Amino acid sequence: MISVQEALNYIAQSPLNRRIQQVDLLDSIGKILAEDVIADRDFPPFNRVAMDGIAVAYQHTGQTWIIENVQYAGSPQITLSDPAHSIEVMTGAILPEGCDTVIRYEDLEILPAEGNKLARLLLPLEEIKKGQHVHPKGIDRKEGSIVLAKGLRISPAEIAILATVGKTQVWVEMPPQVAIISTGDELVEIDETPLAYQIRQSNSYMLASALQQKGIASQRFHLTDDPEILHQHLANILENYEVVLLSGGVSAGKKDYVPAILTALGVQKCFHKVAQKPGKPFWFGVKTNETGEVTRQVFALPGNPVSTFLCFLQYAQAAITRQAVRYEDVYLAQKVHFKPALTYFAPAKTYFDEGKQMAVPFEGSGSADFANLTSCDGFVILPAEQQEFPAGTLVKFIRFR
């Protein structure tokens, strides 16, 4: 049995080889960028008017200006003919040639004047700063510089930048092909009526929906606890899927064939059993190619629903999405007593109390009590070395909603 940290290390040391692929801009959201993205122009690409108003030449500035012309956004640059005049300018327009400063409409009165219009400043002149309300060419990024570096995760902010530099297609790391397999002879399909000693499948739907929320497709399978069937189907699935999430079949039971069959199929065990509750029987292994690269990852998760979900959140999710889990800091709102020398992941609900994030643990009836989870938004992580966790103890938290 290894520690939670050792389990995380093993998995981190066995990353799956990723395929990279070019996808349409909008399909890149949430994925890892697989190329450096270069600014094809300065950001902004011209001295850009940042407020609606007038543009003036600062050193010739008085208290009133004749308005010569209008510079619209999307129109070619015009030129100020008389440095004592001004040009009306619209947000997003290129700053007219000969101007360096913008004064907002809010600070002006626009008056008719001899066929022209006149702008009169409503503020003392000292309040106008040279260069104000101009977003200078290249101030944010220079043409040729890297605006987005390979390896970052694409959020809507990165989508805006990719659009700006004209990336209709983006090189990204593709998520792996994922198979989700539930095992257990007590499980029936969700459209069936279970007999007294049966229950409906739920883990594979839970895992598929969790992946779907991350934008990752998966294929679900159910296999019965028969060694030959397991062997044959697992062999097939391992041919076609890069990540296999199994639930059930990894404990000490007489029909817990999964670890032996995986080994027989050439999946090398990295570890079996982690010093944690729930999820102790968790098994993890990989297949590698001739050059030692990992081509398959197998997460054989314990079958109790809370165990399955927690092990997915804590171990499989980050490996599949390549997004490190964001552990939050929380303070226990109630004391917890937990005797075994295991890391205890207790379902909990969080709230903010004057800057402190508090977590109320819901112990319920253990790893099979998944109805409990609807009142929770994650798990507090209580270290194995301690047995008593007084209210107010600072611990880590893993969020699922």
Q: How far is the CB of 287 from its own copies (least distance, A)?
A: 27
Near its own copies in 143-202, by CB under 8 A: 147-148, 152-168, 184-187, 190-202
Shortest Cβ 146–its own copies spacing (Å): 11
d(CA 173, CA 289): 20
* Identity of the residue, 145 or 387, whose beta carbon is nearer to its own copies in the bound complex: 145
Are the CB atoms for 31 and 21 separated by under 8 Å? no
Build a one-symbol-per-residue string for 269-288: x at contacts with its own copies by CB under 8 A, - elsewhere: --------------------
Signed CA dihedral, 137, 138, 143, 149: sign only: negative
Ranges within 214-243 binding its own copies (CB under 8 A): 215, 225
255, containing H or E segment? none
> Which one, 85 or 137, has the nearer CB to its own copies?
137
Cβ 302 to its own copies shortest distance, Å: 9
Q: Which stretch binds its own copies (CB under 8 A): 59-67, 123-131, 260-268, 349-357?
A: 349-357
Nearest to its own copies of 109, 329 (CB atom): 329
Beta bridge partners of 199: 187
Work out the burial of residue 89: count CB atoms within 10 Å of its CB; fewer than 13 is exposed, 13-18 middle, 19 or more buried.
Answer: buried
Instruction: Tell me how many residues contact its own copies (CB under 8 A).
Output: 115
CB of 17 to its own copies, least distance (A): 26
Q: Which of 7, 11, 34, 43 touches its own copies by CB under 8 A?
A: 43
CA dihedral 317, 323, 329, 330 (to 10 degrees): -30
Site for its own copies in 85-144 (CB under 8 A): 88, 90-94, 104-106, 135, 139-141
Helices (H), 249-341: 258-264, 305-311, 317-321
Examine residue 390 and tell whether it contacts its own copies (CB under 8 A): no
Q: 280 in helix, strand or coil?
A: coil
Q: Which of 5, 13, 17, 75 binds its own copies (CB under 8 A)?
A: 75
DSSP bridge pairs for 298: 244, 285
For residues 199 and 190, what is the distance between their CA atoms, to the nearest angstrom?
Answer: 9
Instruction: Write down the least CB distance from residue 250 to its own copies, Å.
Output: 10
383 forms part of the interface with its own copies (CB under 8 A):
no
Q: Are the C-beta atoms of residues 146 and 158 closer than 8 Å to each other?
A: no
Rounded-to-integer distance, Cα 17 and Cα 322, Å? 11
Q: Which is nearer to its own copies, 59 or 352 (CB)?
A: 352
Q: How far is the CB of 180 from its own copies (least distance, A)?
A: 11
Q: Is 275 exposed, middle or buried (0-12, 13-18, 19+ CB in 10 A)?
A: middle
Please report, to the nearest 10 degrees, the dihedral formed by the alpha carbons of residues 155, 156, 158, 161 taken in order.
170
The reply on whether position 391 binds its own copies by CB under 8 A is no
Q: Cα–Cα distance between 12 and 32 in angstroms, integer?
A: 17
343: nearest Cα among 373, 303, 386, 282:
386
Nearer to its own copies, 58 or 331 (CB): 331
Query: Cβ of residue 288: shortest distance to its own copies, in angstroms?
Result: 30
Decide if 109 contacts 65 (C-beta within 8 A).
Answer: no
Binds its own copies (CB under 8 A): choice among 356, 387, 388, 390: 356
Give the per-residue contact string, 14-33, with its own copies (x = CB under 8 A; - = no).
Answer: -----------xx--xx---
Binding to its own copies by residue 387, rule CB under 8 A? Answer: no
